[in-house]
Amino acid sequence: MPEATYPSQKFDPKNRYVTSYLFSSSTLGSIRLLLGFYALVTNLVVLIYDGVRLEIADTYFSYFTHLSYIGLTAWLWASGVQTVAFANALKNGEEPRYPLQSWPRIFGFLHEYLYTTIATFPFIVTIVYWVLLASSGSFSDGFNSWTNVSQHIMNSVFALFELLLTDLPPLRYIQLPCTIVTLGLYLGVAYITHSTQGFYPYAFLDPKKEGALLAAYILGIAAGQIIVFLIVRLGICLRILAVDRRRRGSLEHNHHDEYEKAVV
């Protein structure tokens, strides 16, 4: 399996965070920023709608859907900017690197952490919503249809784009407990919300209503995160192996053609 580690002297020595086997770095950066712009507009429109039309803007940050979508937005902008900087360095004939590689290593770790969240949380959000929370009201009007498609379907599509069509490295195991701790911290947010605003962001978190099932839901989500993490990591490793094999085959074919020309 491909290694997810990197030498201590430089973050991302193979520049996997800013390259793609299908697109140039400039194209990849542009796509990321375009998707980031769409995600940012979605966040703002939903927040403004909640505040102006429904007068519930103070509940916006209580929902894991919104928080994870903000994280996805942050990733698309952060990775997009770094990718564009890398593309500009290549274009100008400079050393092929991007700003994050010269920053303190803590920023590299945080970038990896953000990457791990957008590689796993969107799938958790999508699965939980459509299995436990979706109802006939999910598509009751145009606005609800758009927001639910954007935040509960497109979120996973954006994640799949990153995982399947770029050169991103395998998830590092050290980030798995970090994501589980993050999910645990969200439980704190949910119960603080109930204490301060009188409601649970998600009905299945109500201990009076769910009883013993609540523990099963919480453990199920934690187990789901572990399973999603492992599946995603395996998928990335298989993608890297397939791409590397394809590149080796292409090189061997080119060398064979050059040899035949030399012989002739």
pLDDT above 80 (res 68): yes
pTM over 0.85? The answer is yes
**Residue 113 in domain:** yes
**Residue 10 in domain:** no
**What's the total number of domains in the chain?**
1
Token pair for residue 181? 């701790």
Give 225-235 pLDDT, tens digit per residue. Answer: 999 999 999 99
**Residue 8 in domain:** no
Instruction: Specify the residue for token string 């603080």.
Output: 192
**Residue 6 in domain:** no
Q: Mapped to the 3 state alphabet, what secondary structure does the chain carry?
A: CCCCCCCCCCCCCCCHHHCCCCCCHHHHHHHHHHHHHHHHHHHHHHHHHHHHCCCCHHHHHHCHHHHHHHHHHHHHHHHHHHHHHHHHHHHCCCCCCCHHHHCCHHHHHHHHHHHHHHHHHHHHHHHHHHHHHCCHHHHCCHHHHHHHHHHHCHHHHHHHHHHHHCCCCCCCCCHHHHHHHHHHHHHHHHHHHHHHHCCCCCHHHCHHHHCCHHHHHHHHHHHHHHHHHHHHHHHHHHHHHHHHHHHHHHHHHHHHHHHHHHHC
**Residue 157 in domain:** yes
Give 3-36 pLDDT, tens digit per residue. Answer: 444 445 689 999 999 999 999 999 999 999 999 9
Give 124-154 pLDDT, tens digit per residue. Answer: 999 999 999 999 899 999 999 999 999 999 9
**Residue 53 in domain:** yes
Average pLDDT over residues 196-213: 93
**Residue 127 in domain:** yes
Q: Which of 72, 4, 264, 28 is nearest to 165 (CA)?
A: 28
**Residue 4 in domain:** no
**Domain limits at 98?**
16-263
pLDDT above 90 (res 162): yes
pLDDT above 90 (res 201): yes
Percentage, residues of the chain above pLDDT 70: 91
